[in-house]
Amino acid sequence: MQVALTTRVRAEHLEMKATKIILLFLLASGVATTTTSAASGADAKSSDPVQRKFAAFNKHDVDAIEQIYASDATLRSPDYPRLTGNSRIADTYRKIFDAVPDAKDELETLETSSNHVYVQYVLTGHLKDAQDKPLSVRIMSVYAVKNGHIIDDTTYYDRKMP
C-alpha cells in the first residue's frame, strides 16, 4: 500500500513539474501572452507611462522621459546597480543618445499585471564612432507604476553586448 501511494505521489509530482515546464516554455515563446489590448482597465493604466516612455525614447526626448519617472524612481540594470531620482535616470538616457545617436527601441512584448509592466524589446542603432557596425541588444525590463509615473525600473541585458 505504501509503495503504491509513494509511486502515485511521485507520478503526480512529475506531472505537475512537466506542466510547469510546458507553461514556462509557452510563456517564453510568446504563445501565451497578455497584451495591453486584452488587459483590464487597471492594467492599461499601468502600461500607459511605460508606453509613453518608449515613445519618448524613440524621439530622444529626455525631458519627457524625466517627467515619466517619479522624482524618487529607482533604476537597476547591469550598469546601474541602484540609481535613484528621475534627473539622474534622465542623465543615463542622455548618455545613451550621445553614444548611440540613432538609438531606437523595438517592442516585442508588453504585459501587465496590476501595477507591474513587463517589456521585452530590442535596442537598435549604431555606436557614434562605428556607423558601419549595427547594434542590436535584446532587453527585458520590469517596471512598477504608481500615480501615472514609473517608480521602479529593473532592466536586464547581456552586458557583453556593445
Task: Output the domain CATH number for residue 69.
Answer: 3.10.450.50
Could you give the angle at the alpha carbon of 65 between the alpha carbons of 59 and 69, nearest 5°? 160
pLDDT at 129: 85
Domain shared by 46 and 16, yes or no:
no
Domain shared by 68 and 116, yes or no:
yes
Q: Which residue has the higher pLDDT, 58 or 29?
A: 58
Domain shared by 43 and 118, yes or no:
yes
Domain shared by 21 and 43, yes or no:
no
Mean pLDDT for all residues in the chain:
80
Give the confidence band of 106 by pLDDT, cuts at 50, 70, 90: very high
Evaluated on CA atoms 134, 138, 142, 146, the torsion sign reads: positive
Domain shared by 108 and 151, yes or no:
yes
Domain shared by 87 and 140, yes or no:
yes
Of the candidate ranges 5-14, 68-77, 138-147, the one whose mean pLDDT is the lowest: 5-14
Number of CB atoms found within 10 A of residue 46's CB? 24
Number of CB atoms found within 10 A of residue 50's CB? 23
C-alpha cell at 20: 510547469
C-alpha–C-alpha distance, residues 95 and 33, integer Å? 33
Domain shared by 142 and 119, yes or no:
yes
Residue 162 lies in a domain: no
- The pTM for the full model equals 0.72
pLDDT at 131: 81
Give the confidence band of 40 by pLDDT, cuts at 50, 70, 90: low
The average pLDDT across 57-80 equals: 96
Q: How many domains does the chain have?
A: 2
Domain that holds residue 82: 35-157
